[in-house]
Each structure stands twice: as C-alpha cells, then as structure tokens.
Copies of this chain bind each other. A is one copy, B any other.
C-alpha cells in the first residue's frame, strides 16, 4: 500500500471506502438489519462521517446500487459487443456476468436479492437497475430474432427468454458457491448448451417437439 499511515483521507477516496464497506454489510445482513455503525466501523471511520458524505442510510444504499449497477452494466456491454454473431455476443455476456459475480458476489446480492421495499426511492432504483440489465439481455435476444429467418415475433417472447436467462444465471450463482473450483467459462458453456437451441424454439413459435404421450 502507498498510504503511509494516513489517518485523514480525501473525501472521494473515503466515499468509495464507505460504499465498499456498505456493500459487504448490506449483502450479509440485508438493508434493514444492517446498521450504519457496523458499516462505519468496517470503513475505519465513525458514524457521522457516513451521514456527512452520504446523507442517510437510504442515500448510502442508493449510492451502492448506482455504483454497482453501473459497473455490472459496463462489464456486460463491453463484452457483448455487436461485432460478434448473436450467439457469441450472448456467450460473452454470460461469461462477463459470471466473472463479475465471482469477483463481486456481494454486489450481485445487493443488486438482485432484495425482497422488501424499504422506501419508494430504493424500490425505484432497484427496479431501474434490474430493468437495465433485463433490457440489455432482451436486446441480445432480439438481435437473435432479427438474425432468425422466422416471422417477426412479438416482443413478449424476447422478454420471456431474457427473464429465463437472468433467472437461470442468478440461480447458478448459488450453484457456483457450492462448486468453488468451477471456472466461469465452464458454467457459461453449459448454460449456452442448455438454452441456445431452446431459445430458437421459443422465438420461432411454440412447438414442443417431443411429447411422448398426451395428458
């Protein structure tokens, strides 16, 4: 480290340290159970600093949401560049996602595992960031529709596929925790194997191909 026992730290740096600590605590305890005191202590600072810089517990949480949503989206967009074919874009996007979650597990928990509605502002920001990710995925899926030779499908289908993909990826996040050795590449590969063919089925209209007996 280059900081020679510097107790006093300039505001922009300290703000990031506070947000770093907050993400860890919010992820571990959830919004309500997290205490600002614990966050402050983890950031190596006392509570009033948090209020001076981030305004309130809600403001602190919003700052976490905004910063991490931005980060995740940036990583995702950088990977799924339009230069590739639709399926390679999707593959790259998934790989970027799994890599991100491997490195920033807490961020994903804060962004996507919040059940309650602590306040209108938080509900809104949470909805914003989730919609942004879903929109990105839906865009990839739609690019695939355009590349397909079938008739134009309603947007419903792209959205449906996007929800399926995001949900699957989120759940596989837990699977990763159970299998620490597994590299993101292998998970991406297996998930691609599992959904790529099926996506075309859904996007080309619903034709369940192999019913062996009818109910």
Contacts and interface: CB of A to CB of B under 8 A. Distances in A.
Nearest to A215: B88
A22 to B, nearest CB: 14
A87 B209 CA distance: 11
A2 interface: no
B163 A174 contact: yes
Copies of the chain in the assembly: 2
A85 interface: yes
B194 A198 contact: yes
Contacts of A210: 87, 196-197
Interface residues of A, number: 61
Interface string A194-208: 111111011000111
A103 to B, nearest CB: 19
Nearest to A198: B194
Interface stretch (A6-14, A24-32, A43-51): A24-32
20 contacts: A30-B30, A33-B116, A87-B212, A88-B211, A156-B179, A160-B172, A164-B171, A164-B172, A164-B191, A164-B194, A166-B171, A167-B167, A168-B171, A186-B206, A193-B206, A193-B208, A194-B198, A194-B199, A194-B202, A197-B197
Interface of A: 27-33, 84-85, 87-88, 92, 109, 113-118, 156-157, 159-161, 163-172, 174-175, 178-179, 186, 189-199, 201-202, 206-213, 215
